[in-house]
Structure 1
Amino acid sequence: MEEKDHSALQENVENKLILASRWRRLWASTLDAIIIAIVAMPAIYFTDGFNNISNATSLSIAYTLLLSIFSIVIFIVLNGKLLINKGQTIGKKALGVKIVTLTGERLSVKEHLLKRYGTYFLTGQIPIIGPPLSIINVLIIFGKKRRCAHDYFAGTMVVNC
């Protein structure tokens, strides 16, 4: 599979698809996270989530899971149409990058939601090992191909528009 990925990437380099810089990807992801946080904050406020945090009370697993699901729904509502039509989230659009397959095509809904974002979001929810796996997922971007683990799993790359 690695040979297939490498040959497809090589073909794209020849076709002038330019991989997005790590910085652009970081800022796009940061912008998306800020937007989701702003939208999710009222839910946290009205469910006393901030009181638990300020009292150093740990949040229950059920509360954390519900908040995660709510955040995923917010992500899909805010970015779903853009992802399907342009391969972009709000952050990626603002930074001029998009998600494509290794052959430069747009992804299907299934590829976006299950392969790419499903693995990205769900991995982080695994108790104890989820957070370290999420960090490893992102750190893989420092390889030569500038792809995170979820990109390899989904057969995607992020390129400049």
Structure 2
Amino acid sequence: MASIEIRTTQNVTIEYDAATLWERLIASLIDGIIVLAMYLLLSLLVISAGDSNLIEADEGWHMFLGLMPVAGFMLYNFLSEILNNGQTWGKKAMGVKVIRLDGKEAGLSDSLLRAVFYIVDGLLTIGILGSILIASTAKKQRLGDMTANTTVIKLKPNLRFGLEDILRINTLDNYEPQYPGVRQYSEQDMLFIKNVLSRYRKHPNAAHRQVINELVARIQQQLALPQIPADKPEFLKILIRDYIVLTR
């Protein structure tokens, strides 16, 4: 499973699971079906309301019918991503969404660029160009993503490993837990703590240090500890050890 590191404007690096090519293709297929259904319904309404003989003879109407699905697909994607925080109905069904590479939500201009470049990524190249770029680029971006500085991520992280993979359990047989209150946390909570700790060790800057400080302060309150531990990274590591011993 590919992951994407995104550095926010606060210089904090966040790791996301990238949406796979198949997830994005299926999302686009769902969106295409929705747009096609809307197109057919609208066409039937217009034809039923007008003179069918005049419509059939009107070349301008034929051109309109030919361009409407493309324009409709672009408009649908643009409005959906703006109104649903980076999600079309297809993306919502697949559990993925669009975000900017600075960690912010995609804005009006970002969604507009993404919609317009569907012409190149999808229509003119039958989806081949977009698929190749998504499969081969580091940030899993099609051309529309590159111009808008966006990518598509999974909303739910894929927990590819358990806590047992973080530490060697066989070294903890005689270990005495120091913080029994750690039982109140879930495995996903502990994986989050592990990821924060990993981010800090990989990028030990002021922004990540502040995240560590805030996380430890919150845990100190939840566990009702008399004071905040001095060595915060080591404290988090001990919490992970304690959780493994107490819940395995």
TM-score grouping bracket, smaller chain normalisation: 0.5 to 0.7
What's the % identity of the aligned pairs? 24
Q: How far does residue 132 in structure 1 lie from its aligned partner after superposition?
A: 2.8
Q: Is the 8 A contact 1:84 1:108 kept in 2?
A: no
Structure 2 match to 1:4:
none
Gaps of 5+ in 1: 1-8, 53-58
What is the TM-score of this pair, normalised by structure 1? 0.67
Structure 2 match to 1:151:
145
Instruction: Report the AA paired with residue 94 of structure 2.
Output: L
Larger RCO: 1 or 2 (CA < 8 Å, sep 6+):
1
Confirm or deny that 1:91 pairs with 2:90: yes
Structure 2 match to 1:5:
none
Structure 1 match to 2:131:
138
Partner Cα distance (1:71, 1:104) in 2: 26
Confirm or deny that 1:43 pairs with 2:42: yes
Instruction: Report the AA paired with residue 159 of structure 1.
Output: I
Partner Cα distance (1:91, 1:108) in 2: 19
Partner Cα distance (2:134, 2:149) in 1: 14
Seen in structure 2, the aligned counterparts of structure 1 residues 160 and 66 have a Cα distance that, compared at 3 Å, is: closer
Partner Cα distance (2:126, 2:135) in 1: 15
Partner Cα distance (1:16, 1:38) in 2: 37
Q: Deviations over 1:59-102 (max 9, x none)?
A: 954542344334444x15xx725534421111111111000011
Gaps of 5+ in 2: 8-12, 156-248
What is the TM-score of this pair, normalised by structure 2? 0.46
Structure 1 match to 2:114:
116
Q: Is the 8 A contact 1:20 1:97 kept in 2?
A: yes
Where 1:147 maps in the other structure, the secondary structure is: coil
Instruction: Report the AA paired with residue 71 of structure 2.
Output: I
| Structure whose alpha-carbon radius of gyration is higher | 2
Partner Cα distance (1:60, 1:85) in 2: 33
Residue of 55, 64, 67 corresponding to 2:66: 64
Seen in structure 2, the aligned counterparts of structure 1 residues 27 and 10 have a Cα distance that, compared at 3 Å, is: same
Q: Is the 8 A contact 2:74 2:116 kept in 1?
A: no
Q: How does 1:24-35 map to 2 (within 5 A)?
A: 24-35=23-34
Q: Deviations over 1:102-144 (max 9, x none)?
A: 122101112211x2112224x489xxxx623853233321204
Where 1:157 maps in the other structure, the secondary structure is: strand
**Cα RMSD (Å):** 3.1
